């Protein structure tokens, strides 16, 4: 993708500027999202137009102007080419997700991870997704796994609205239940000891909410997918030690079934996941 863009911009950007194009951009439905270094800002419209030329189905190019931030994990965006639109529909693993990239978190880079989790779900399982966003993990699980129910919680009202829409579009309303609220409050009030499998796809809050995941599990235990940040060279060890100690404090035992580095986050830091069997 990036090579084609560089090709299209040859002659319009200097060699030095072409090198600065850096990491590949994301395409979500018919919207492309780019991050540009300050040195390329004077050329942002040219770059946006070139992207639309290379990817004919892209109708809008957005530049990310802030980090993903805040409790709803959203980002600031500006239109640099095409139509002034931030809402789109994205297709993944036979599912469709309507999203507004300015109002909710969404990453197409987690597609493989979503499908991996869905394939681990056993028939009849009850799943709780503590940080569900627009419902992407929950809906892929409902389509590809055989869960009997997926409780799908998010605190962002915009994400909740899109989740409800996406549940309808994907016809999984009989299995996925969207819940608007704080994951701790929802679990403490309604979902204690009801779940076979808990997803925690928000590394920033994983440690703070691990006790909530334990509380959601049935008394006989179950699985927790613990997303965290891991730093080389230890990578998974601190997260595993944290979960072991936190589980022991609640009289539970943790067994590591799988650990994966999902994607690079910063220099030598990775977004990681531990698949934990809790008994
Ligand atoms: C990184 S996003 C993950 C979204 C989704 N799982 C995905 O991969 O597309 C984290 C989500 O957690 C939600 N969130 C943050 N704090 C929360 C809380 N205390 N309770 C419930 N949801 C929360 C945010 O609104 C955001 O949509």
Tokens linked to 235: 């990578």
DSSP 228-260: EEEETTTTTHHHHHHHHHHHHHTT--EEEEEEE
- Distance between Cα 57 and ligand 1 center (Å): 29
Nearest CA to ligand 1 atom 22: 154
| Stated pTM of the model | 0.94
Q: How far is CA 60 from CA 48, 80, 87, 140, 172, in A?
A: 8, 8, 10, 26, 30
Backbone CA torsion sign across 20, 27, 198, 212: positive
The CA 190 to ligand 1 mean position distance, Å, reads 18
Å from CA of 133 to ligand 1 middle: 5
DSSP string, 102-136: TTS---GGGHHHHHHHHHHPPTT-EEEESS-TTTH
C-alpha 123/C-alpha 141 separation (Å) is 11
Ligand 1 centre distance from Cα of residue 158 (Å) = 11
- pLDDT tens profile 164-209: 999 999 999 999 999 999 999 999 999 999 999 999 999 999 999 9
Specify the fold of 2-85: GMP Synthetase; Chain A, domain 3 (3.30.300)
| Residue 145: C-alpha distances to residues 87, 124, 191, 242 (Å) | 28, 9, 21, 29
**Segments of the chain with pLDDT less than 50:** none
Bond before 233 cis per omega within 30 degrees = yes
Residue 63: predicted pLDDT: 97
CATH number for the domain running over 105-278: 3.40.50.150
Q: By alpha-carbon position, which residue is closest to atom 5 of ligand 1?
A: 133
91 pairs with which residues across the strands?
96
Domain extents for the chain?
2-85, 105-278
What is the longest distance spanned by two Cα atoms in the chain?
Answer: 65
Q: Return the best residue to mutate from 26, 155, 207, 211 for the ligand 1 pocket (most ligand atoms within 8 A of CB).
A: 155
First-residue to last-residue Cα distance in the chain:
45
């Amino acid at each position: 993708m990036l090579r084609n863009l560089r090709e299209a911009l040859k002659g319009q950007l200097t060699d030095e500027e072409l090198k600065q194009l850096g990491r590949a951009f994301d395409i979500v439905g018919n919207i492309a999202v780019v991050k540009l270094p300050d040195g390329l800002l004077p050329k942002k419209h040219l770059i946006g137009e070139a992207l639309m030329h290379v990817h004919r189905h892209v109708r809008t190019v957005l530049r990310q102007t802030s980090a993903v931030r805040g409790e709803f994990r959203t980002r600031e965006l500006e239109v640099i080419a095409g139509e002034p639109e931030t809402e789109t529909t994205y297709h993944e693993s036979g599912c469709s997700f309507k999203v507004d990239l300015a109002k909710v978190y969404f990453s197409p880079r987690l597609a493989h991870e979503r499908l991996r989790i869905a394939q681990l779900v056993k028939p009849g399982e009850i799943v709780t997704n503590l940080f569900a966003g627009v419902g992407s993990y929950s809906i892929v699980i409902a389509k590809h796994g055989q869960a009997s129910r997926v409780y799908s919680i998010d605190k962002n009202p915009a994400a909740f609205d899109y989740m409800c829409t996406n549940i309808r579009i994907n016809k999984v309303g009989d299995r996925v239940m969207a819940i608007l609220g704080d994951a701790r409050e929802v679990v403490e009030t309604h979902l204690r000891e009801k779940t076979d499998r808990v997803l925690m796809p928000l590394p920033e809050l994983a440690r703070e909410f691990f006790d909530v995941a334990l509380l959601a599990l049935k008394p006989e235990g179950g699985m927790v997918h613990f997303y965290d940040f891991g730093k080389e060279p230890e990578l998974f060890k601190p997260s595993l030690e944290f979960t072991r100690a936190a589980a022991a404090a609640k009289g539970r035992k943790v067994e590591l079934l799988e650990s994966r580095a999902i994607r690079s986050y910063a220099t030598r830091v990775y977004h990681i996941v531990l698949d934990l069997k809790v008994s």
